[in-house]
């Protein structure tokens, strides 16, 4: 079990009080309240939850609407949803009840990643023990990262192959079995219950922190907290060099002053070519002794493995990149064999993936590598190139010394 010592708000049990308030407010006012409170999705995109609920509430279709909780959590380095499922399933269940009441859903599903099967069993027990007014079904996935993408997840629940659907139509109009559906992240749903407390703070987010730190874990912090402050609390095991925002969110050179807030991270990322995002607040801290190309190589392997293969560019390019990086990174972690054409190849691949990928997996597959190439170019240089650079530097130095003597 992950330590609970760095977290407070998300552990609060709402004990049915929020649901009682919601029942007295009625569905429309409940959605208005959630919108006014500014609750935003915690699954990565940060959409206003109230807007998503309202769109489905106002769809025709009577009570044939569904609510789905996304607990696929396949992003490397992300474990905050597991933390909620383990430590506060009661408040999550209350959030589901509130959402179903407000949107007008006849049934809810909780989609749990295959690797959390034991946790799903425990959660089912909690569901059986909790008083409920809507049926809530737990579906366990088969361990595919792409099933976190909401339409792939819906296919998987329907018993189809878990691959993303063409959009539009979006789930709000054509979701589970073609009916209007809301998909929300676990942390979003737990907060929907907590938002009805007077002391709720909408700026508190869960950060999953791992990498070269002595205290990896889930940390609840306000958006805007400085990276250095959070990393200090996690006790870095060596001087930090970079932070990777999961596998899909790109990376930035370590800057203690960086504000952990979506716009600030994106702005800093824009300065290095874009594609960097705070996403679901996953921070993988990379220390100075670690090789950036090795980290990028393992990320590329992940994407090649997880591509569902439906789009040719995603299927082929992720495999090519993984192979290219694997061949170029020595067993010692030293980069070698990256020729000048490599940067060009990555730039062209990114452009193609961005335009020709059906889902976010393909679109984000090169985010970390592209950002790393811009910020850590010397780590990708072939030994021959870096040797010749050192040689010419030494030559210049010797010449300067000779000049100063003459």
Ligand X SMILES: Cc1cc2nc3c(=O)[nH]c(=O)nc-3n(C[C@H](O)[C@H](O)[C@H](O)COP(=O)(O)O)c2cc1C
The residues of the shown chain that bind ligand SF4, judged by CB under 6 A, are 146, 163-164, 307-311, 314-315, 357-359, 361-362
CB 184 within 8 A of CB 49: yes
Name residues contacting ligand X, limited to 300-319 (CB under 6 A).
none
Query: How far is 279 from 245, CA to CA, in rounded Å?
Result: 7
Q: Which does 73 bind (CB under 5 to 8 A by kind): ligand X, ligand SF4, none?
A: ligand X
Q: How far is the CB of 282 from ligand X (least distance, A)?
A: 11
> 35: which 2 tokens?
């919108």
> 155: which 2 tokens?
């296919």
56 CA to centre of own chain: 24
Q: How far is the CB of 378 from ligand SF4 (least distance, A)?
A: 31
Q: Does 185 bind ligand X (CB under 6 A)?
A: yes
Helix orientation angle between 17-25 and 27-37, rounded to the nearest 10 degrees: 120
Q: Does 18 bind ligand X (CB under 6 A)?
A: no
Query: How far is 398 from 299, CA to CA, in rounded Å?
Result: 42
Tell me whether residue 201 or residue 253 sits nearer to ligand X (CB atom): 201
Query: How far is 118 from 56, CA to CA, in rounded Å?
Result: 32
Interface with ligand X (CB under 6 A), residue total 22
Q: Does 41 bind ligand X (CB under 6 A)?
A: yes
Helix (H) or strand (E) segment spanning residue 125? helix 117-129
Query: Of these, 70, 357, 366, 370, which contacts ligand X (CB under 6 A)?
Result: 70
Tell me whether residue 92 or residue 314 sits nearer to ligand SF4 (CB atom): 314
Query: Of these, 2, 25, 45, 138, which contacts ligand X (CB under 6 A)?
Result: 45
Q: How far is the CB of 166 from ligand X (least distance, A)?
A: 14
Name residues contacting ligand X, limited to 149-178 (CB under 6 A).
149-150
Tell me whether residue 104 or residue 162 sits nearer to ligand SF4 (CB atom): 162
Tell me whether residue 103 or residue 152 sits nearer to ligand SF4 (CB atom): 152
Q: Does 48 bind ligand X (CB under 6 A)?
A: no
**Structural Rg of the chain based on CA atoms:** 23
* Burial of 48: CB neighbours in 10 Å, binned 0-12, 13-18, 19+: middle
Tell me whether residue 44 or residue 275 sits nearer to ligand X (CB atom): 44
Q: Give me the residues paired with residue 220 across strands.
A: 206
Q: Which does 184 bind (CB under 5 to 8 A by kind): ligand X, ligand SF4, none?
A: ligand X
Measured at CB, which residue is nearest to ligand SF4? 362
> 395: which 2 tokens?
């030559």
Give the angle subtended at the CA of 71 by the CAs of 278 and 125, to the nearest 5°: 145
CB 368 within 8 A of CB 272: no
CB 251 within 8 A of CB 278: no
Tell me whether residue 209 or residue 361 sits nearer to ligand SF4 (CB atom): 361
Q: How far is the CB of 175 from ligand X (least distance, A)?
A: 12
List the x/- string, 247-266, binding to ligand X by CB under 6 A.
Answer: --------------------
Query: Of these, 74, 141, 216, 217, which contacts ligand X (CB under 6 A)?
Result: 74
Q: Does 43 bind ligand X (CB under 6 A)?
A: yes
Q: What is the separation, in whole angstroms, between the first and last Cα of the chain?
A: 70
3-state DSSP assignment of residue 109: strand
Q: How far is the CB of 382 from ligand SF4 (least distance, A)?
A: 30
Give the single-character DSSP code of 256: T
Helix (H) or strand (E) segment spanning residue 115? none
Q: How far is the CB of 70 from ligand X (least distance, A)?
A: 4
Q: How far is the CB of 71 from ligand SF4 (least distance, A)?
A: 20
Give the angle subtended at the CA of 324 by the CAs of 318 and 329, to the nearest 5°: 125
Interface residue list for ligand X (CB under 6 A): 41-45, 47, 70, 72-74, 145-146, 148-150, 183-185, 188, 359-361
């Amino acid at each position: 079990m992950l330590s609970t010592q760095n977290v407070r708000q998300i552990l609060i049990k709402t004990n049915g009080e929020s649901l009682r308030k919601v029942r007295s407010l009625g569905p429309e006012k409940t959605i208005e309240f959630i919108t006014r409170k500014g609750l935003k999705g915690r699954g990565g995109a940060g959409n206003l939850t109230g807007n998503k609920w309202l769109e489905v509430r106002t769809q025709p279709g009577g009570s044939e609407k569904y609510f789905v909780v996304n607990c696929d959590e396949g992003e490397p380095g992300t474990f905050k949803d597991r933390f909620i499922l383990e430590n506060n399933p009661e408040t999550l269940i209350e959030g589901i009840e509130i959402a179903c009441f407000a949107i007008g859903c006849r049934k809810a599903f909780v989609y749990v990643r295959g690797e959390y099967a034991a946790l799903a069993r425990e959660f089912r027990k909690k569901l059986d023990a909790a008083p409920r007014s809507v049926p809530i079904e737990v579906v366990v996935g088969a361990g595919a990262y792409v099933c976190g993408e909401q339409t792939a997840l819906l296919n998987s629940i329907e018993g189809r192959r878990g691959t993303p659907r063409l959009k539009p139509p979006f789930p709000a109009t054509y979701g589970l079995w073609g009916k209007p559906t809301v998909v929300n992240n676990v942390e979003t749903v737990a907060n929907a219950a907590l938002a009805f407390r007077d002391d709720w703070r909408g700026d508190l987010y869960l950060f999953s922190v791992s990498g070269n730190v002595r205290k990896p874990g889930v940390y609840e912090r306000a958006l805007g907290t400085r990276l250095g402050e959070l990393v200090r609390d996690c006790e870095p095991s060596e001087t930090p060099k970079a932070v990777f925002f999961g596998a899909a969110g790109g990376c930035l050179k370590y800057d203690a002053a960086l504000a952990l807030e979506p716009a600030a991270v994106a702005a800093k990322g824009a300065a290095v070519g874009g594609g960097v995002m705070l996403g679901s607040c996953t921070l993988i801290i990379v220390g100075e002794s670690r090789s950036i190309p090795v980290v990028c190589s393992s990320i590329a392997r992940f994407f090649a493995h997880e591509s569902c293969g439906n789009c040719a560019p995603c299927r082929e390019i992720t495999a090519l990149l993984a192979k290219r990086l694997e061949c170029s990174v020595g067993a010692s972690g030293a980069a070698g064999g990256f020729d000048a054409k490599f940067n060009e190849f990555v730039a062209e691949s990114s452009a193609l993936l961005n335009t020709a990928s059906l889902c976010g997996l393909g679109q984000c597959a090169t985010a970390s590598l592209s950002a790393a190439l811009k910020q850590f170019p010397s780590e990708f240089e072939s030994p021959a190139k870096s040797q010749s650079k050192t040689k010419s530097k030494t030559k210049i130095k010797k010449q300067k010394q000779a000049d100063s003597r003459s």
